[in-house]
Chains A and B, each alone.
Chain A
Amino acid sequence: MSIYVDIEKNLGSFRLHAKFEASDETIALLGASGCGKSMTLKCIAGIETPDNGKIILDGITLFDSDKKINLPPQQRHTGLMFQNYALFPNMTVLQNIQAGAKREKNKAKRRDTVESVMDSFGLIEFADRYPHQLSGGQQQRVALARILVSSPRILLLDEPFSALDSHLRFKLEQEVRQVIRKFGKTVILVSHDRDEVYRMSDKIAIMSGGRIEVVGTNEEVFANPQTRSGAVLTGCKNISAIHRVDENTVFASDWGIELKLPGLTDGISSVGIRMRRIRHGNGENSFRCRVVEEIEDPFYYTVMLRPIGAKEGSPLGWLMSKEDWKRLKAPEVVVCLPPESILLLND
């Protein structure tokens, strides 16, 4: 159904202020570590208490500082999954999942639920194993199964793949996506991995310094991250501070170049351009650049460019396929930064 969150909590070095809502969809909290995203999940689950605000899940108030409502975690029905999966080490797979089903008081029903969930997760053969005898992927499956038998109204996934090797991640992501689709209710995913977030969720909330800066669909947020930290978190590597030169012109001080930006509004303090969006050849905002460095990746090149005439500052990264760079390779190249590809950012 839906969740509404508007909470504040003092975390010493900064103040957490998380405000968002979501319906039956997957919303990702994307942020660097220590930005308050895990804390937000803990507040929803009832493990941490916000200083003030409100949390409403499916029309039920979980927390309301004005009305002095603060449901204990046991009554919140939030399926919280930790990075380390938090399987009970002294219990077998079967016992772990049975423990998750304890809310159901009818024993026959409970047994059926446990059995069918274990079956659908392919866990029957591991029933008598202990968590430490399982691989990371199997542990994650047990954790998900344990949560699903506890009749959750929402899934809260805290960095679900960060404890896994990269080759396992892709496969498990698919599994989790399937679980989410079958679950059909709100899912909040916390992650610092932009690719994972883009693949897994419908909506993204960018979090930085305890605040949610931007919320939107995946496409919206990646096309226009709006803030500098949003640009960084969505993977934009070329970012420069700017000062205004005249109405349509800015000076990008990190790159040492002037850019034409028609329709620039006030409050924009930086610009960014994704490494793939730089184009070869002449056009608006084109510059002759010296190639400072070529960085070879398995399937593409990142070419570091310094505009000729720019005295200092950081070079621009330009990403292209290996074939393209083989064709264009030269000590100096002309590239253009199309105004429609330039991200306008505030702080």
Chain B
Amino acid sequence: MKLYTSLIYRELKLTRKRFFLMLLMFLLLSLMMMTPLILVFISKPAEGEESPLEMIPLFVGIVALTGGFLAGTNNGLQKADISTGWKRYSFVLPPTAKQQALSDLLIKLCYILFFGLLSAAFELVYTAAADYNKFGNKLYIYMLNIYLGAVCAVMLVDIAYSYILMFAKDKNQLKVIGVIAFLGAGVILKVFGLFADVKNEMPADSDSLISETAFNRLEAVLLSGKTTLCIFAAFALICALFFLAMWRSHERREP
């Protein structure tokens, strides 16, 4: 236990600046999303005019998406450890690769739990203040699905990034790998961009970004408990993958 306390203390101390920045960003965005509530109190919308409260599910979604993105994103520690030489030094320290990977995972889970609770707290404030109970628990399921979905997506990117970083042993190699990763991301975006172009060529039903049928389908998926189960399963799998990637990263010796 003492060992994990040490490992977690080191990691948290090193990432706290980044964490406070992320927290600030999240709080600013979430507070900004509260504007509709304030507007309603200041001036009630005229009859027939759409109430800003109608936008609350969208805001809950944005907050959950942001929270998920921040919680799942790479904390920059691996890169910093390579730059300072700690990565090399860690090979001569007693913690095993498995113990270090477990501590990485625990910290990631702490972040996920923290931003998850924060997102849920904001959602609670929105719904309570706006008396927006018509969805009941469904709004929570919706939030959870978006939040965990975002966490999973960002963690997958993080796993890929961490795997690539594993091959760097010093600052210079980090730079080379950074350039390669940047170019690789560019190529991937380009490929996806091509597919997007094909889709854009299809005739649009209306001026909106997404057709009503597609929106309804997306809404149904996001409000479904089955989706939550699937996302939880995916999340568990991705956590296991993250652990394996970190384990491999701590285990791998310099060539």
Whether A and B are associated in the same complex: the answer reads: no
Interface residues of B (CB under 8 A from A): none
Residues of A within 8 A of B (CB): none
